[in-house]
Structure 1
Amino acid sequence: MTLFSSAGPEWIAPGACILRDFASPYERLLWQDLQAIVRQAPWRHMQTPGGQAIAVSMSNCGRLGWVSDRGGYRYQMEDPLSGIPWPVMPASFESLAIAAAAQAGFVQFRPDACLLNRYEAGTKLGLHQDKDEQDFSQPIVSVSLGLPATFLFGGLKRSDPVLRTELYHGDVVVWGGPDRLRYHGILPLKPGWHPLTGKLRINLTFRVAG
């Protein structure tokens, strides 16, 4: 018996795919563990190096956490709000990330960082690359919970054409290999209601950061 859905990958690029509804069977456990994380490391709006507040509120779990402030973008072991280590990555999170990566062909993936993003109606994430990690040979695993969102998947240059696709509760996107540094983002979230997350969309993004 496997923990997560065995639906086949929906390939959107040679090294990128969507695993539809992959995480839904264990949504309750994921949600329960998420609440424990944010009790220890509460949601916060980080700042860009230019001093602007990031619209999406964030937290982290794992050995390393992604941080943005006037000092730049980076990973660090301590939560800057508390000065203590980020919460340990729950077994449910780690198992999901490893299983999803393996389904996409990345069988060596062992994440040491998970960035948590909380979207409210109207919030978005502009096109960007995940390039603060040390090892680009490892993929990104991105889990969607709650309200649907339009995912933008571009090229290796910001000016490249962008694929738009809807992501729904339980969908997991994995990208790596030749597509590891593609630009990606989320269009403004539309208002709605989901039985698990209410008015929110939650995204869990797993990386090998250190």
Structure 2
Amino acid sequence: MRALPVRRIATTVLCASLLIGAAGPVVAAESDSRSSAQEAADAPVPGADKLLAQAKTLSDAGGVLTPVTDLLTAVLKADKGQLPAADATKLADPVKAAITKAGAAAPKAPELPQTPALPEAPALPKALPDDDRTVAAPDPKADALKALQTAVDGLLKAATGGDVTKVAGAVTPVLTGLVNLVAATLLGGGLPAPDLAGLPALPKLPAAGVPQAPGLS
């Protein structure tokens, strides 16, 4: 009769061991699944650097649009289109800061180690006339920002000069400058092409290069 409790204890221990052994792989699988999910969550988005650059391009353009449209709204709502000098300065400063930020130069590429100097090659006969030069690559965004700042300066002058007849003529170049900036951003910012049905195709930027020499094909 004394052996019976011992048997029960042994049976209980055996069952517990079997249950633990069966549950072990399940717990390990759940742990591995959580680990894989966490690694997937921590992984970067494929192509994130390029997409971030595109988002920044739009952000820079948007950062210019808001202060310029604020200035336009203030002028057009003002009595006879005239602003006090202090108000004009308060509105002009954010515009200038936004244009400067949007036109900031991109980070320079890392410099490569210098290679040993090579002997000079003999001079070749000129294939092009002296007046032909290598055409620099166009920078439509920089041109648009510069033109916009000039238009804004003209608007500020008209809005503080006391002549209401000059205000309307100064507003249109600012609006045109904003449209040019948006177009230059779309064409030269490496953004995806618009795909809305009914939109006309955007023109391509002119390619820079060397003029072709006469008689060459």
Give the TM-score normalised by the residue count of structure 2. 0.23
Give the TM-score normalised by the residue count of structure 1. 0.23
Q: Which has the larger radius of gyration?
A: 2
* Structure with a larger share of its residues in helix: 2
* Structure with a larger share of its residues in strand: 1
